[in-house]
Structure formats: C-alpha cells, structure tokens
Structure 1
C-alpha cells in the first residue's frame, strides 16, 4: 500500500497523528485544526492495518475505533467547543470513498456555519425533492 496516505503518513505531510491506540489513529490535517471555521477540528479515525472499508475491520479494530472516537470527541469538545457532530463512513468509490483505506470522518459542526442544521440526510432531501 505504498500509495495510501493512511499507511504512509509522509505522503500527506500536513496530516498529524493527534492520538492513537493499539489499532487506530486519529488524524487531523493542519488546516482543519487551525483554519476554516466551518471544519475546524475535523479529522478521521483510521485502522493502523490497511483495511479498505469499515466492513473489513476486525472486532478489535471496531472496538478500538469506538474508543478513539470517544477520546477524539472529548478533545474536540474541549479545544473547539462545537455545537454538534457528523460522524460517518464512505464505503467504496461510488459512495464517495476516495482513499481506499477505511476512515471514519469526525466532523464538528458549529452554529452559524453555512450548512448548520443540514446533516447527513440533507443530500437525500435535496436530491429527492428536485425530482
């Protein structure tokens, strides 16, 4: 997996390991930690071993992901004070997964941002209502 930026962290030099456990990493891009009010604090939780989608995770990796998600939320809550979260997986390219290494998006949300109040179902509501 030489071309995978989650297996080879030096391929994306602006990403940082914020925290880790035995099976997973919580990564944040520098610009998501410090800029862009809409996505400040955003990050991804990735298994250390290359797994293409969430469906490939072992039970230990799944448990470690949940544990790290709780830790990441506590960190983001303290540092950025968001008003809510979107948390989710994209699986396979047709569903929006552009890096074929499982990664759980952790997206803090803030009052007053352009898409405040529009969650994951927003895509479905806007797509279906235009038919």
Structure 2
C-alpha cells in the first residue's frame, strides 16, 4: 500500500486531533476536532492508499467510498439529525485542494445555520466569480 511520509491522510493517527471514525478495506472516514465547532458532524472519506485526486481512484476504492458514505450518513443522521448534506471533492489547488490526497467532504447542513440553502452552486454562481477574459 503506497503511503507518503508527510501526508496527513496517509497517516491519520499522527494528528492527535484527527480521528478515524469508520473504516473499511479501502478507506477511512476522518473527523478533525478543529472543524467540529463550526461544521458539526463533518468529516472526510479518504482512500487508505495515496491517491492524489479523485480521478486516480480505483473501482474498488469507489465501491469502498460508496459503502462508507452510507454508513457515515446513518451515523450522522442518528447523532446530529441534519436537515441536508453538502458533499464534494476538490481537485487541484484552484479548487482549494490543499492536501494532495483525494478526500470526499461530508458536511451535514442545518436549517438554522447562517448559510442554509447555500450550497456549492450558490458560491460558484456569484457574479464576482465570473472569469475575466
């Protein structure tokens, strides 16, 4: 199994604030203490092998992510009772992928949060996001 020595997702146990909540043969669901105050219940699903982007995942890893996502959703529904979810992948620095290891964001959403009703498309469709050519 390929691992990169300084990658926080290849070695999740090295960050005392990062916790493996669930795992299967191919991936982990990780939560980080520092994110829970604002993004209650949020976390990321990451492949155990180092894959730089979503496009590098194997079919087996996709299957593992799918299975883990449903386990995570059941758990988050029971613990936090969210009103919806924002799910997403960032690929490359321009998309804000700051850790070069593929990771799938699972973010529970709530009707009483300030940005309720504003998902990925909302932010991308803002007029000030228009490309200048």
Does residue 3 (structure 1) correspond to residue 6 (structure 2)? The answer is: yes
Aligned-partner SS, 1:77: helix
The verdict on how the C-alpha distance between 1:11 and 1:127 changes in structure 2, with shifts beyond 3 A counting, is farther
**Unmatched tracts of structure 1, length 5 or more:** none
Aligned-partner SS, 1:121: helix
**Root mean square deviation of aligned Cα:** 1.7
The verdict on how the C-alpha distance between 1:12 and 1:91 changes in structure 2, with shifts beyond 3 A counting, is same
List 4+ stretches of structure 1 deviating above 2 A.
30-33, 127-131
Q: Following TM superposition, by how much is the alpha carbon of 1:59 offset from its aligned partner in structure 2, in angstroms?
A: 0.2
The verdict on how the C-alpha distance between 1:130 and 1:103 changes in structure 2, with shifts beyond 3 A counting, is closer
TM-score normalised by the chain length of structure 2: 0.89
> Number of aligned pairs?
128
- Alignment of structure 1 residues 1-131 onto 2, 5 Å: 1-33=4-36, 35-36=37-38, 39-127=39-127
Q: Following TM superposition, by how much is the alpha carbon of 1:129 offset from its aligned partner in structure 2, in angstroms?
A: 7.8
**Unmatched tracts of structure 2, length 5 or more:** none
TM-score normalised by the chain length of structure 1: 0.91
